[in-house]
Amino acid sequence: MYCPYCKEELKFNNEELYCKAGDSYFSKHMEKILNEAIDNSKEVKVRIPKVESSEEGRFFCVNCGSKMMKIEAMHEVCKCCGFEMNKRMFYEIVEINPHCSFRSKNHWGKRNSTY
């Protein structure tokens, strides 16, 4: 499994997924959501031709490490394997599982005053 922020391979540290490059942990809850999305990615791959002309997304694919493609705001899909990041998952990654390189900005690209 790969870090959605930087595509570094995630390792287990203290029984949670950990990105060394971003010094960030992904909760057990997030791990479960990501695994479910990976299992569902085979179904999504059928719809991929609809995003061929889309722009690059913000994240990397958790399943294969490729750059995601933007479907709409806070909704991305991987053209290579079909992994889909919906709005709920996008929000949880950004707000609950931050990465050191992204902590100074929120998902709208604006600086957070709390960090």
How far apart are the C-alpha atoms of 28 and 14, rounded to whole Å?
11
pLDDT of residue 96: 85
Which of 8, 20, 81, 90 is CA-nearest to residue 48? 81
Q: For residue range 23-35, what is the model confidence (pLDDT) as tens digits?
A: 999 999 999 999 9
Per-residue pLDDT at 47: 57
pLDDT in tens, 2-18: 999 999 999 999 999 99
pLDDT at 51: 57
CA 97 – CA 62 distance, rounded (Å): 14
Q: What tokens were used for 85?
A: 């990041």
Neighbour count for residue 37 (Cβ, 10 Å)? 18
Give the pLDDT confidence score for residue 16 in this predicted structure: 93
**Which residue numbers in the chain have pLDDT < 50?**
103-115
